[in-house]
């Protein structure tokens, strides 16, 4: 009897990949906080996760449906420009460093949570394999 890891891990594998991609996007925003004309972007996590799940079941052109494009382009599900919460300072940059730092910290905590869920799943599989 073989183990189907997609069923065993559920959405946690896709969630972990999306959290990693979101960390890249948020870090890019922070790195460009002083770049004139730079527009902050973010990933709508719930929308992206739904798209990744749909792609996982229907997209046969990728090596694996949960794999994401590593480029910071529109190919990442749910990626869009953030609506600025502050008036334009004159240089066209829409990055608010405090918001970006907060979002980055939240995303890091959620990434750790996804890792813990996966760790629990793996430990459960190991117990089942060992017959414990």
pLDDT for the residue numbered 52: 77
Give the confidence band of 3 by pLDDT, cuts at 50, 70, 90.
Answer: low
pLDDT for the residue numbered 96: 93
Please compute the mean of the pLDDT values over residues 44-55 and round it to a whole number.
Answer: 84
Write out pLDDT tens, residues 57-73: 664 444 454 454 444 44
pLDDT for the residue numbered 74: 46
What tokens were used for 128? 């089942």
* Cα 37 → chain centroid: 25
Q: Pick the most confident of 4-8, 56-60, 76-80.
A: 76-80
What tokens were used for 59? 């997209």
pLDDT for the residue numbered 129: 86
Q: Over 60: is that where the pLDDT of 15 sits?
A: yes
Q: Over 60: is that where the pLDDT of 54 sits?
A: yes
How confident is the prediction for the chain on average, in pLDDT? 82
């Amino acid at each position: 009897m073989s183990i189907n890891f997609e069923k065993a891990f559920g959405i946690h594998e896709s969630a972990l990949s999306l959290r990693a991609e979101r960390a890249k996007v948020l870090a890019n925003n922070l790195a460009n906080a002083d770049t004139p004309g730079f527009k902050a972007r973010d990933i709508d996590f719930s929308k992206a996760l739904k798209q990744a799940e749909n792609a996982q079941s229907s997209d046969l052109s990728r090596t694996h449906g949960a794999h994401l494009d590593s480029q910071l382009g529109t190919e990442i599900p749910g990626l869009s420009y953030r609506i600025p919460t502050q008036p334009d300072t004159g240089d066209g940059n829409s990055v608010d460093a405090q918001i970006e730092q907060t979002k980055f910290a939240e995303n890091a905590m959620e990434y750790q949570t996804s890792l813990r869920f996966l760790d629990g799943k793996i430990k459960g599989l190991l117990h089942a394999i060992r017959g414990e």
